[in-house]
Structure 1
């Protein structure tokens, strides 16, 4: 018995020591992770990385977002789809003894620090796909990393040759390098059960026999590759020296002819009319919805601003089956379905000459780098002198405006309060991201309205038509863009970074009341009554509850939260810009909203047995005032 008891004590103290050690490790790792986070940009998704933390992992569940846990042990980082940028601090990561690292689907750019990668000696998997990492990968980048099993680097901008140190990884089973700019020959990989993807690079030469059983699609897009599973390699024919001499003589003769022609043309009188190379035109849609576009002149090229989408040529787009989605103040929109089945939206703009070509390209590249769940990603664009095309993803459920104001079937209910709250929170988050990523723009959105809030199949909102003010012709923008309907624009001919807040406030009121802002239909910036004025008059003079949309299915335990959102909307619509809330304050208040009132919330809106909606609000309830 004494022996057993003594063993129990030893076991207890051993377990206690292990627990203390694990807790100590987690505290140490937490400090390292905070240091690593400081090297990143746009870390909103990592807001719960806060010290102190007792345990990073609870079983297989991480207590900090983006951590990988294995039975209570922190083993890796999975920081995917977070819009992260900045630099990757490998020195900090080296102290964590990571087994897996994934930074896929973010906004990292520039070279990855491969020279330091060997410091992550225990790393088994590395996922860096769908960023903008570029440059050559050093030939010895993976030397000594014997534990490495999976390397996923596709959809980046890597150049140079495939590093030979990959041949030194005995456990490698998955290598994905597709959609980059690797060149040269494919090394003679020998690893058993290795799966590769080298599609869409600049590789050449015969495919190693050890990879001949792979699917042909894994090598497509490399026009100089040959051998199984692609077409057989053609034997090279020897060319006599005399052929090179003849070719050189012919080349010199042709050069002389071309120079003479250019001199003659320069002296010739220029033509009175010359065709522009930018004579791309789009025709009206046919009745069957196919071949909406037709190129009547020299075909231009699409410029892709994202690496995570299918690549295609303008010709493919012009031949795609399509349907008209609508015609707005900027131009027409079409839904085009590529041959692969991928749906896209093509927007035609004829009023985008506010900046030069280089500035336009740079602005579009900047928009292409934006990545947020509540923003519609720009996929590609076409630049012509008279007309521009912007290509974006297709969002399934249409716009918020169509759901609020369009005709519904008799059995189709309107949006309830939880759905509307979800939508406005998503809109606020997307707007906050624009403000953070576009600090130099006075109008990070500029055209925020319900028809530019799209909804996916879960009714998550996606903002469109953002950050176009710099490229839209000034006169056209002032006639049609929502920002120029604001009080400061109509009264003082100016816009500020609080102007988008005004648009957010109008959107909130539209969402709560179900009323369309009629002043948006008026062209120009003349004085006109707006939705905020109507709401203010109802709230001030005869509070009857008529302000809320009846389709919301008002409930007793949600009315307090609706009133809070109404107040937020009115404070965002304050005519006096100085007194108007800034975006940060508005978003903080929106994030505090809930679907249902708590007992404390409810009691604060009830007094002497009467609901808040049965009395007129006082100045303490609303800080809104008219000009």
Structure 2
């Protein structure tokens, strides 16, 4: 008896020596939670009372127990930085995990899902990445899964449909791809909230989603790559549910039944292939999925003797006498008017001295022709060599003409490879910005007119408005609103030879970031052609009197090419710049010169000819990094140089403190550190080397808006 007892005591002693020193007096749950504490940096001391001297963790911050067992871990918005240990899954009674709005990163450990009683997993607003483990099917009691605003990727595991008790599934603002799992609509019969927006899901919308009869509020599938027809079974959802299908690749007619009826067009915009009510785009007979029983338009009978009504036409004998007389009289009047107009224009144009048309933006130069006339080439067809003799207004707010512009005071405010920019002040005090695109070269007026009028239709508070233009063989002018406070490059780095301006506070920087993002979202998603800027950089982000940003130079490169001459995009100059010249310029303390524009170009821009919206996302990300660090896009490191993105990646790998990265002028905004780090994470997502893995600008704007800053 006694030898056996001694042997048991000896074994217990040996086992205890293999455990950490503090485990001897702790239960298993305390050990697991202390492992969590060791794997996380806690700058605000949220875990300061997690002590190894306690027999149980039930009194610890963020911990809730039931019957002396841990059932909940909830530490939101505490700047926790680190990754989740796999040991958390060993908390057998764990029901709730909430780490929302922290700085946690890394993959979700599959062992986490060994806590089979878990009912809610809330991780939104962190930097988790990787895919969702297949082991999620172990969570048979899971009701809330919120992984939004992270960097998760890959497709959803097919096993997720085994979480049949889910009531909330929110995966928005990630990089999920692939098709939705089979039985998506039949597996979640208790689902009340579904948000898959701002991902890269593709494939068709599952037809069985109409079975989700418990859904409430909004079903958000927007900003993905769903394709194919809208399944009519979606109409089976409760009628109070708002279905958001915007910005996908859906096509065909919009089903008119149940929850899909009586919806405004805002639920379907961004799908050019959709047709039918409530959109104004009618469905044609060849539209895929079009209803074969749709009404047939009226066609007159082919029988020539058939009377088709009293609408100005008689029977098959032809036009009535009254109709014939009316047509003849109209033709005669029209010919007479054309003759008078030609005679008048000829008399006005004859003898005009074209020398008066030079130097149109120089003060005191005059020259005005009262008539708009087109030259004809030898064949008599309308020529692209068109001469205009007054300003063409692009909106009804233009109340000045060429004569007033010629009499105005003009000051040079900028010069680049695309021409000279002037500030022009009219006699009534109105200030305008006038850009000369140069002279000579190929004259393609029709193409220029189409392009410039399309740009002139863009109206957004964060995009510089093009008000009017002027075209002649020797002169092309673009007339914009004048923005009074310089550009972002000068605001950030000052101007060479001038006194340094007041440094931008974090509040103003964030306001500029958000406003610029809003302008890009408008260009990418709401402009008629879903435009790409293609050459975004701080020098063409102008700053208004209230520090609001205005994106300028949109479409300028294209217009310069059409107008002819030797103009070249500044970014093209940068791409061809010799390394030693770029290094010399990058070491200067001046505002970033044009040759540094390559620092804002996406890596694929050197290989792909056609710009994409992800080019703008990359450029925007570099600008964010520049505003956070205060550095130029080319950074000098010892005797070598690297671009700003590489430098930031180097600092992250070397685990440099934030103070080494941050613009020294932001030292006074130390209390905004969490916001600055959040923006830094957004910037790093924007400058991902793979275009497909960069977020959309809508994704970026939503992330910035969720910082809860009163910066607008």
Question: TM-score, structure 2 length as denominator?
Answer: 0.40
Question: TM-score, structure 1 length as denominator?
Answer: 0.45
Larger Rg: 2
